[in-house]
Amino acid sequence: MSTIVKQSWKRCQESNLNAWEKANDQIISSKRIKEIIQENHPLIQESLPLFNKLAPFLLSTEHIALLSDRDGNIIHTVGDPVFANQAQKVQLQIGANWTENSKGTNAIGTALIAQQPVQIQGEQHYFLENRFLTCSAAPIFSPTGELLGVIDISTRKEYSHPFALTIACMIAETLQNRFLYADAQRVIALGESPVVKGEPGKVPLVGLDRDGRLIGFNEPAKQQLGTEALGKRLPQEYERAGREVQDKRPRLFTSGSWTDASSKTSDADALKSLKKPKTQLKPFPRLAGSCPLFLQAKMLGQKAAQVDFPVLILGESGTGKELFAQMVHETGPRAQEPFIAVNCSAISENLIESELFGYESGAFTGANREGRIGKFEAAKKGTIFLDEIGDMSLRGQAALLRVLQEKVVTPVGSNQSRPIQARIIAATHRNLPEEIKAGRFRADLYYRLKGVSIHLPPLRKRSDIIQVAEHLMQQIAPEQPSELLPSAKAKLVAYSWPGNVRELQGVLVQAAFLSDGDDIGEEHIQLEGLTEEAEHEQGIPSLRETELVAIRRALHSSGGNVSKAAKLLQIGRNTLYRKMAEYQLGAPFYMGES
Ligand SMILES: Nc1ncnc2c1ncn2[C@@H]1O[C@H](COP(=O)(O)OP(=O)(O)OP(=O)(O)O)[C@@H](O)[C@H]1O
């Protein structure tokens, strides 16, 4: 065991952490996550382009990459969704805190304390529950040496590789250099460092302000000059021997290769792209919600908007898949082009090809005499949204797969193919891996469509029902939205919402009507699921659903006081905290209530 790990275990023991118990499994409230994200805006802004470059390489590799702030709060993740799912079982996810105090010896928390790169392999984790992981983390420093956060790459211990630590270090170094370039008027390379232990030399860089004073440096330059050089003029001999790289060779600084070295853009363009990251996430204005599950999906969507990968949106009916697809389209570079939605379940098997690809005049009986262009061509350079793709017939799937492979469409009755330029977003409420197992969906099509797959949570699992409801009330009566009284909020929170946001919308329209524009009380909220008949139809709720409803009710009655809620439920406070994290119940769903 390395000294770093030994010291970390000692700290854990001294803090009376019990390795066999569950580690602290709290997830920060979505309100607080938003604040943390705002506080760390520059770090996130500079990191996102790097994460975006890394993300496609992590898909299907059982690896995820994470960004934590200086307090060990995870604020961003990308990577293999299957492993991300397993990692969530120990809260290796946005909103969790991975300091040693919370999670014992682990790469993020230990790198924060040791202030150096750390790989924690399987059994080296302090808590038993984390020992299936191997995590590699590198601290990120500002150009003045201030600790900003940690880059971590995690995987199952069987897949661990020392290379992950190298990548984490490269990202951390690249980030530090990016900050240096962004802050400094001039950046000077002081020459190559000697090769240390077989590692290629890294270029020592210093950033100067307008007056030639040193305002930052990277690690090799720090070692050469010492921290006392900060704020002073760079000694003449260094300036004379150094090379000015801010204007001339902005890409030279990369100690990693994350900036696109093969790009043919000019140096000036490259410099601009360094200062202003290419990917600036745009808000999704029409999508309400603040619960961590939803925010995670939204951030993925915002990132997907900037690139051309196919997107697959998964979620129950009424969770907002189409609205989400529109947001991806409207905030991306294709926004000025058409958004064409196709409901694949509504098109009969015989007509699918002519609908999607068009047909020539007289192609079949009943066809329009002039022929018609298909949806792919109608979308032009915009987006085609293939809704309910899981309901498409196998014949339709085969035709669609051909189009995706060949990137051309051939209208029915024609022998001329035409190139397609539209971006593809697909959505379904079905579980596609199960459909594949049952032989109803083609695996090859699935893998083509799921460049980025985004899961929209059902409303019953969201902790922001009230926020969504208030947003919808605003839409229903923009001039004078009715207020939801606490009793109405309690009823909304306790319900299981089988029809998701669409059902909530319907219920609120009805409530606004019943209340005649006055405040909305519980008597105005008419929930189908609560009528005896419907309950019969829906059958008996699962134990988990019942538990979730009970917890929500208790938290609501206690005004969010967890101890009181635990008493009402007759369980321990820690058990309640654990269950709240399990159901992703942060504070916000009862916030804003009286
Ligand atoms: N987060 C949200 N904020 C505001 N409105 C929402 C949100 N999610 C969904 N909606 C609204 O709910 C309704 C249903 O959404 P949408 O049609 O996008 O769902 P869907 O998942 O595509 O449904 P289906 O699978 O049945 O086609 C729409 O009116 C949409 O505007």
45/142 same-domain check: yes
474/509 same-domain check: yes
CA 442 to chain centre: 27
31/88 same-domain check: yes
Nearest-atom number in ligand 1 for the CA of 504 is 12
b/e map 195-205, b = 16+ CB within 10 Å: eeeeeeebbbb
Residue whose pair of structure tokens reads 């040791």 in the numeric block: 114
Domains held by the chain: number: 3
Q: Using the mean position of ligand 1's atoms as its centre, give its distance from the Cα of residue 199 in Å.
A: 52
What confidence score (pLDDT) does residue 43 get?
87
Q: Using the mean position of ligand 1's atoms as its centre, give its distance from the Cα of residue 585 in Å.
A: 22
CB-ligand 1 contact for 501 (6 Å cutoff): yes
What confidence score (pLDDT) does residue 278 get?
43
Q: Using the mean position of ligand 1's atoms as its centre, give its distance from the Cα of residue 233 in Å.
A: 59
Overall residue count recorded for the chain in this entry = 594
402/501 same-domain check: no
What confidence score (pLDDT) does residue 56 get?
82
* Nearest protein Cα to ligand 1, atom 25: 317
Hey, what amino acid is at 472? Answer: L
CATH of the domain at 377: 3.40.50.300
Let me know if residue 327 belongs to a domain: yes
Let me know if residue 20 belongs to a domain: yes
CB-ligand 1 contact for 505 (6 Å cutoff): yes
CB-ligand 1 contact for 319 (6 Å cutoff): yes
DSSP label of 22: P
Q: Mapping DSSP to helix (H, G, I), strand (E, B) and coil, where does residue 128 land?
A: helix
449/480 same-domain check: no
Residue 22 sits in which domain range? 3-179
446/537 same-domain check: no
Q: Using the mean position of ligand 1's atoms as its centre, give its distance from the Cα of residue 505 in Å.
A: 9
For 406-441, the DSSP string reads H-EE--BT----EE---EEEEEESS-HHHHHHTTSS
CA 110, 112, 113, 114: dihedral to nearest 10 degrees? 80
Let me know if residue 587 belongs to a domain: no
Residue 5 CB-half CA count within 13 A: 16
442/574 same-domain check: no
39/54 same-domain check: yes
77 is written with which tokens? 């993740």
* Nearest protein Cα to ligand 1, atom 18: 320
307/382 same-domain check: yes
Query: Which 3-state string (H, E, C) describes 47-95?
Result: HHHHHHHHHHHHCCCCEEEEEEECCCEEEEEEECHHHHHHHHCCCCCCC
Let me know if residue 69 belongs to a domain: yes
* Of 413, 439, 457, the domain-final residue: 457
What confidence score (pLDDT) does residue 426 get?
96
Let me know if residue 279 belongs to a domain: no
404/499 same-domain check: no
Are 143 and 153 in contact by the 8 Å Cβ rule? The answer is no
Let me know if residue 500 belongs to a domain: yes
pTM of the model: 0.50
* Nearest protein Cα to ligand 1, atom 24: 317
Residue whose pair of structure tokens reads 């996102």 in the numeric block: 48
Are 107 and 119 in contact by the 8 Å Cβ rule? The answer is yes
What confidence score (pLDDT) does residue 237 get?
79
* Nearest protein Cα to ligand 1, atom 15: 320
Mutating to test ligand 1, I would choose from 501, 503, 508, 509 the residue with most ligand atoms within 8 A of its C-beta, which is 501
Residue 115: partners with Cβ closer than 8 Å, 6 or more residues away? 139, 147
374/494 same-domain check: no
ipTM exceeding 0.95, yes/no:
yes
Q: Which helix (H) or strand (E) holds 170?
A: helix 163-183
Task: Write the pLDDT tens digit of every residue in 191-214.
Answer: 754 444 334 447 888 888 776 778
Residue 264 CB-half CA count within 13 A: 0
Let me know if residue 129 belongs to a domain: yes
CATH of the domain at 162: 3.30.450.40
Are 503 and 317 in contact by the 8 Å Cβ rule? The answer is no
Measured distance CA(585)–CA(30) in Å, rounded: 9
Q: How far is CA 58 from CA 10, 19, 175, in A?
A: 34, 30, 19
* Nearest protein Cα to ligand 1, atom 9: 320
Q: Is 81 left (phi over 0), alpha (psi -120 to 50) or beta?
A: alpha
* Of 389, 424, 457, the domain-final residue: 457
Measured distance CA(462)–CA(557) in Å, rounded: 18
For 94-110, the DSSP string reads TTBB-SHHHHSS-HHHH
80/116 same-domain check: yes
CATH of the domain at 553: 1.10.8.60
What confidence score (pLDDT) does residue 592 get?
31
CB-ligand 1 contact for 315 (6 Å cutoff): yes
Let me know if residue 250 belongs to a domain: no
Measured distance CA(378)–CA(360) in Å, rounded: 15
CB-ligand 1 contact for 328 (6 Å cutoff): no
DSSP label of 365: T
Are 110 and 100 in contact by the 8 Å Cβ rule? The answer is yes
Are 448 and 294 in contact by the 8 Å Cβ rule? The answer is no
CB-ligand 1 contact for 430 (6 Å cutoff): no
CB-ligand 1 contact for 322 (6 Å cutoff): yes
Are 375 and 356 in contact by the 8 Å Cβ rule? The answer is yes
Low pLDDT (below 50) residues in the chain: 193-201, 247-279, 531-539, 587-594
* Nearest protein Cα to ligand 1, atom 2: 287
Q: Using the mean position of ligand 1's atoms as its centre, give its distance from the Cα of residue 374 in Å.
A: 26
* Of 179, 208, 236, the domain-final residue: 179
